[in-house]
Amino acid sequence: MLNGISKLDLKRINRMQVLRTVWEAGPISRVDLSQKLQITRASITQISNAMIEEGLLAEIGEAPYQNNQSDKLPKGRRKILLDINANYKFVLGAVISEQEITVGLCTMHMDILDKASMPCTDHTSRKEILQFIISSAERMMNNSCLKKTDVLGLGVGVMPIMIGRMRVFYKNGMLDFTELVKALSVPQMPTVFCGNAVWLLALANADTQRGGMQNTSQVYLHLGNHIHISVLRPEKFENDYLTYSYLTERCIVRPGGRQQDGYPAGSVRAQLSIQAMQARVAQVYSKERTPFLYSATDGYIERVTLEELYQAVTAGDKHCEDVVREIMQDWSVLLHNMVCSFQAQKLVLHHFNLTERGFMHFKRYVKEFVGDDIAERIVCSTVEGKTDFLGGCSLVLMKNFYMNGGISETETDE
């Protein structure tokens, strides 16, 4: 027999809606909040005042006056804007990838206060990774004079290629982070949350675009030895972040193309992973045939990137031109298919390591092969490299702040 929704659950739902809307809309007045959520002004006032008293929200001043038809100020009091209190608590995050471990501390507004990174190789052990995360987080808390109760949590994102090394296993079709959470849950650390780093990076990218990308459907592409895809939908719930890495890597972008064990010929994995692109370049790579590229990479094919390929074409390495055009044709096919499959309004590139000029080259090729509409949807991730840890921070904010309305798990019905 259903007992209905409890008072605490109803309180959480209302507060969750208020907090998330304040964050996504930017500073917002109670009147506008009431209209957006279709909740009475009296209820919004009651909810927001309670959260101001608790320190979750803060009044940050009057809304700017905007009127294109008159310079006269309107009568009556201007709207008072509400925002998330940036210093209500602090957040620790980490991301474990095959190249680097990043750890950082940020505010509720995701402003970075401290960060650290450690290179990761095939020889870096699980114990070394865990020790680095714990010691870095502890140092950051000490440097900022923070107690465990001042921190909302430690969020850790794990790239799929690292799940085996970190002893993360599948259980009932889902990733089970129990062992990793247990290993990181030492007395000096706040509550630990773990998740798939691909969708956490997508979430962090949206969160750092506050008021810009939250309400758009996005495909987030991570480039590495695997191509990882996460689909981000406008709704802000965990189940709306889906990863399609395995299926995407098996998609065909060049029928009858390169072979890769376990994948169809001409698949995304066989054509577009970093190792696959370097293998394609290796067919022409030499001091005589590609002098600029050979010099720029010191003769190491493993150092070849898309950025350097674009530079080599510009510098006159003619043997690179056909290879680059073929690679970009394949990328264009993949991006076009992502837009068609997921109705993506944005295509977010992560770990492509492109300069501004390189990014323009990338878009120009896509425009040539599949048109303006696809090219104009492409953006670079704002969370990149040594700031990847913000993915873990976003997980904590979602799990331990927005989704519970800022209510402590120890709170009970009155």
60-74, 254-268, 341-355, 382-396: the lowest-pLDDT one: 60-74
**What would the mean pLDDT of 204-221 be, rounded to a whole number?**
79
**Nearest CA to 192 among 141, 239, 148, 237?**
148
* Most distant pair of Cα atoms in the chain: their distance: 79
C-alpha dihedral sign at 300, 302, 303, 306: positive
- Give pLDDT, residue 76: 54
Q: What percent of the chain has pLDDT over 70?
A: 90
Q: Are 28 and 22 contacting, i.e. CB atoms less than 8 angstroms apart?
A: yes
- Give pLDDT, residue 73: 46
**What would the mean pLDDT of 51-78 be, rounded to a whole number?**
72
Question: What tens digit of pLDDT does each residue of 376-412 get?
Answer: 999 999 999 999 999 999 999 999 999 888 876 544 4
DSSP 8-state class, residue 140 = H
Average pLDDT for the chain: 89
Lookup: tokens for 284: 């022409």
**What would the mean pLDDT of 247-251 be, rounded to a whole number?**
91
- Give pLDDT, residue 410: 42
**What would the mean pLDDT of 164-178 be, rounded to a whole number?**
91
Model confidence band, residue 235 (pLDDT cutoffs 50, 70, 90) = low
Q: What percent of the chain has pLDDT over 90?
A: 74
CA distance linking residue 270 with residue 293, whole number of Å: 23
Spatial neighbors of 325 by CB under 8 A, at least 6 apart, are 365
CA distance linking residue 131 with residue 14, whole number of Å: 39
Spatial neighbors of 171 by CB under 8 A, at least 6 apart, are none
- Give pLDDT, residue 4: 57
- Give pLDDT, residue 63: 74
C-alpha dihedral sign at 29, 30, 33, 34: negative
**What would the mean pLDDT of 74-86 be, rounded to a whole number?**
79
Model confidence band, residue 120 (pLDDT cutoffs 50, 70, 90) = very high
Q: Which helix (H) or strand (E) holds 326?
A: helix 318-342
CA 70 to chain centre: 43
Question: What tens digit of pLDDT does each residue of 343-387 get?
Answer: 999 999 999 999 999 999 999 999 999 999 999 999 999 999 999
- Ramachandran area for residue 371 (φ above 0: left; ψ -120 to 50: alpha; else beta): left
Q: Is 386 helix (H, G, I), strand (E, B) or coil?
A: helix
* 67 has pLDDT over 80: no
CA distance linking residue 233 with residue 203, whole number of Å: 10
* 236 has pLDDT over 50: no
* 49 has pLDDT over 50: yes
11-20, 40-49, 146-155: the lowest-pLDDT one: 11-20
* 322 has pLDDT over 90: yes
Cβ atoms within 10 Å, residue 404: 17
